[in-house]
Amino acid sequence: MKKIRVGVAGYGTIGQRLADGVALQEDMELVGIADLAPTLSLQALRENDMIGANGVEYKLYLVEGADPAAFAAMDIPVAGTFEDLCRSVDIMLDSSPAGVGAKNKAIYERLGVKAIFQGGEKNDVADVFFHGYANYEQGLGQDYLKLTSCNTTGLIRSVDCLDRAFGIEKVAITIIRRVADPGDYHRGLTNALQMEKAPTHQALDLMTIMPHISATGILVHTPVTHGHIITVVATGRNGRKITREEALAAFSAHPRIRVVTVDAGFKGNASFFKYARDLGNRRGDMYEIGLWADSVVESGNDIMYAINVPQESVTIPETMDAVRAALRMQPTREEGTAATNRYLKIGRFKNAQ
């Protein structure tokens, strides 16, 4: 089997996990990663002899402006330049800081290489604003795809799940958003909640991906780091009432949704992070969103529920879906998402219950 050759630009919070995700795909080959400075992430990788997930060697390439001497001083091996990496791949996964990906696109276009951008870039960087479950087929054969943000990715998973099962007319969301990733200091120390103007971009992005649904939402920043919590009120199409039992059955069948209860110990966002670590998941990551069965309630014809979004890892499966769509590895969402789920072992816990 010929493997799709993949490179990763930016080895930060998302880039590390993208590299891991590619290394776990049996039909993909991680050619290398690219970065600017010898960060702690790269220092840790060097201490592990440049070996990442699945025993794969992560070869490092330097972007323009990087100082080779800084890497040499820390004994971090360098395989070549960013353009060397781009010339060696079928597709690049760009997780560079916001705005840098758009600049990198000029390189991708000049070298004729496809690319997938993360949620921090503006939508116009890509041909398609992409989600593996909601609009997989729109990404087929496209040169440039852009992923939704972590919150939007998890939100769309749950809304798409209900929409395909019952038909959804509109949703109203409230996002309780973590303020920074673990280890980030740039936002400082805080003891406050911060409001954003409504509607939040996640609601607008959902409507871009799923234009048949009306969405609005409010977002509150919270001084925590492990995960977002989103509450959703969903209205069925044409007055269709969705019962609690129907919603739970649909959620429970979805591979990328983990239905949990408070009584089982899932008291909040930190519970998921601890559980992922106890499972032995690399970096304490969880690819599934968590959904509290206790939160699923009926309000007239509407259905309300709450989800937990592990912001560092939730977009990784959808990015693997994007590779599959852009390279036409699988022609349908069912086949593409199933392949990603199989290699990332997503949903395996459902078979163990």
Q: Shortest CA distance to 308 belongs to which of 341, 351, 262, 244?
A: 262
CA distances to 156, 159, 206, 250 from 243, in Å = 20, 15, 23, 11
Full DSSP string of 52-68 = -GGG-B--EEEPTT--H
Radius of gyration in angstroms for the set of CA atoms belonging to the chain, rounded to a whole number: 20
Sequence-ordered list of residues with C-beta below 8 angstroms from that of 27, at least 6 positions apart, any chain: 1, 3, 4, 329, 339, 343
Q: For the whole model, what pTM was predicted?
A: 0.94
CA 45 to chain centre: 22
- Condensed to tens digits (0 to 9), the pLDDT of residues 219-276 reads 988 887 778 899 999 999 999 999 999 999 999 999 999 999 999 999 999 999 999 9
Helices and strands (H and E) in the chain: how many = 12, 16
More confident residue, 205 or 353: 205
Catalytic residue numbers, as ranges: 150
Number of residues that make up the chain: 353
pLDDT computed for residue 60 by the predictor: 98
Q: Where do runs of H (alpha helix) occur along the chain?
A: 13-23, 40-47, 68-73, 82-86, 100-111, 150-166, 201-209, 244-253, 269-278, 315-326, 333-344, 348-352
Q: Do strands 194-195 and 128-130 pair parallel, antiparallel, or not at all (unpaired)? A: unpaired
- Mean pLDDT across 199-219: 96
Whether the predicted pLDDT of 27 surpasses 90: yes
pLDDT computed for residue 11 by the predictor: 98
**Could you give all domains of the chain from N- to C-terminal order, each with its CATH number?**
4-149+315-352 (3.40.50.720), 150-309 (3.30.360.10)
Q: Shortest CA distance to 231 belongs to which of 241, 219, 243?
A: 219
- Condensed to tens digits (0 to 9), the pLDDT of residues 192-204 reads 788 899 999 999 9
Torsional class of 10: left (φ above 0), alpha (ψ -120 to 50), beta (otherwise): left
Whether the predicted pLDDT of 185 surpasses 60: no
Q: Shortest CA distance to 150 belongs to which of 254, 259, 34, 229?
A: 229
